[in-house]
């Protein structure tokens, strides 16, 4: 596993420790992290503060996102995929898509390269959370 996915996992773990949903993300440009984020919907009472959105906010205005790669511990949903496409992020590396298949087809249909690492650590962290907190999870994905 590379450093960038490890950093995304650290963000997910931090979110879990804060009482939130364990999904983390980092934005990489020219081999360095320019933004980090985690799902903070619960912590901030913000319905759209998914990990990828938090990551983009924390990166700030960086001009062009061409050449950036977004790492996320879970395959991005349609909300986050829309932001990825809107800003022209060319590549997404997901930790897993077993617990949530996300919007992979949407991303790929808009020219985004998607790599699913299928990492056991990501699957276990998300699977355990869903088992313990199904109401938060189903609220997060809009499936209550």
Q: Examine the pLDDT at 1 and tell me if it is beyond 90.
A: no
For residue 34, the surrounding DSSP H or E stretch is: strand 32-38
Question: Which residues, other chains included, contact 32 with Cβ-Cβ below 8 Å and sequence gap of 6+?
Answer: none
Residue 144: pLDDT band by 50, 70, 90 thresholds? low
Determine the number of helices (DSSP H) and then strands (DSSP E) in the chain. Answer: 7, 5
> Given this model, what pLDDT does residue 141 score?
80
**From 52, 105, 131, 139, the catalytic residue:** 52
Yes or no: say if 38 and 26 are a contact pair by the CB < 8 Å rule.
no
Question: What does the pLDDT read at residue 130?
Answer: 95
CA distance 120 to 111: 27
Confidence of residue 143 (pLDDT cuts 50, 70, 90): confident
For the whole model, what pTM was predicted?
0.96
How is residue 75 written in tokens?
Answer: 């395959």
Mean residue pLDDT of the chain comes to 96
Catalytic site includes residue 52 = yes
pLDDT tens, 124-142? 999 999 999 999 898 888 7
Q: Where are the alpha helices (DSSP H) in 20-132?
A: 41-44, 51-59, 78-86, 104-109, 120-132
Short-list 131, 7, 137, CA closest to 71: 7
Average pLDDT over residues 95-111: 97
């Amino acid at each position: 596993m590379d450093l960038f996915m490890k950093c995304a996992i650290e963000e997910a773990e931090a979110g879990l420790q804060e009482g939130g949903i364990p999904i983390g993300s980092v934005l990489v440009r020219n081999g360095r992290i320019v933004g980090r984020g985690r799902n903070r919907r619960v912590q901030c009472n913000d319905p759209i503060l998914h990990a990828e959105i938090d990551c983009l906010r924390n990166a700030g205005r960086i001009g062009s996102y061409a050449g950036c790669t977004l790492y996320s511990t879970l395959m991005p949903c349609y909300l986050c995929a829309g932001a990825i496409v809107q800003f022209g992020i060319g590549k997404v590396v997901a930790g897993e898509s077993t617990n949530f298949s996300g919007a992979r087809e949407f991303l790929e249909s808009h020219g985004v390269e998607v790599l699913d690492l299928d990492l056991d650590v990501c699957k276990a962290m998300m699977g355990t959370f869903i088992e313990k907190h199904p109401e938060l999870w189903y609220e997060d994905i809009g499936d209550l």
